[in-house]
Amino acid sequence: MEHINYTIIRRPKRKTASIIVRADNRVEVLVPNRMPAELIDRFIQDKRGWIEKKLYFNREIRTAFVPKTFTSGEAFLLLGANYRLRVQQGKRSIELYGHELLVSHPAPDPESTKRQIVRWYRQQAETHFSQRCRELAQKTGKHPIHVGVKAYKSRWGSCHHDGRIYFNWRLIMAPAWVIDDVVVHELCHLIHPNHSSQFWALVQSISPMHTSAKSWLTIHGQSLAV
C-alpha cells in the first residue's frame, strides 16, 4: 500500500476537515485548530481511495509542467496554437511571424526574454478577453463594468459583486473554445452569483462544450505556464 505524505494546515475558523491534492501531488489537509492527530489520521485513511485516484490522475493523465528555458526553438502557446521562439538582437519588440514568436532585444538573455513574453501574453489576454466578453455578453444580456487580467495561482477567472471580471492571463494559451467557456462562466455569475442549478443551466445553454472545456483545463491547465 502506497504511503501518503501530507501536510496538515490548521485553521482557527474551520469547522470540518478537507483535503486538497495539488497538481504537483502535494497533499494538504485543512483541519480545525484543535482537531486531534488521531482523528486526522483516521480521516486520511477514510479518504485514501479518493486521494490515490487523484495522485494517479496527476501522474498518468495530467499534462506535466515543463519549465521554460526561453531559448530559440522552444514552443509557446497562443489560443491553442504552438509558435516556435526565435530570439534575436535588435530593437526591443515581439511579434508573431508565421509560425514563430519573434523576440528582439538589444542584449537578449533568458530573463529579459521571459519578461517580454509575459508582458506580451498579458497584452494579448487583455485584448482577447475584453473582446470575447463584449461579444458573449450579448447572449447573457448583462455586461461587466470592467474586464482585466491577473496572475491567479489556482483559478481561471473571477467575478466581483460590483460587476468587475478578471481572468488568469495564462488562459490566453488555451484553445479559443476553452477560453470562451471560462468567459461564459464568469459572465453568468453576473446573473447568478453562485453555483446553483440555475447558474449551471445558464452556462450549459450558452456553452454546450462546458464539460469538455472543464476536462481540458483539468488535464492541460498545469502546462499553461511560462
Per-residue pLDDT of the chain (226 residues; tens, 9 = 90+): 567 889 999 999 899 999 999 888 899 999 999 899 999 999 999 999 999 988 988 888 888 788 999 999 999 999 999 999 999 999 999 999 999 999 999 999 999 999 999 999 999 999 999 999 999 999 999 999 999 999 998 899 999 999 999 999 999 999 999 999 999 999 999 999 999 999 999 999 999 999 999 999 999 998 899 8
Q: Domain 75-223 classified CATH 3.30.2010.10?
A: yes
H or E stretch covering 150: strand 146-150
Cβ atoms of residues 146 and 97 within 8 Å: no
- 8-state DSSP, 174: S
Quick one: cell of 170? 495564462
Question: Which ranges in the chain are annotated with CATH 3.30.2010.10?
Answer: 75-223
**b/e sequence 54-89, b meaning 16+ C-beta within 10 Å:** beeebeeebeeeeebebebebebbbeeeebebebee
What is the spatial distance between Cα 97 and Cα 170, in angstroms, rounded to a whole number?
A: 21
What is the spatial distance between Cα 103 and Cα 116, in angstroms, rounded to a whole number?
A: 8
Report pTM: 0.81
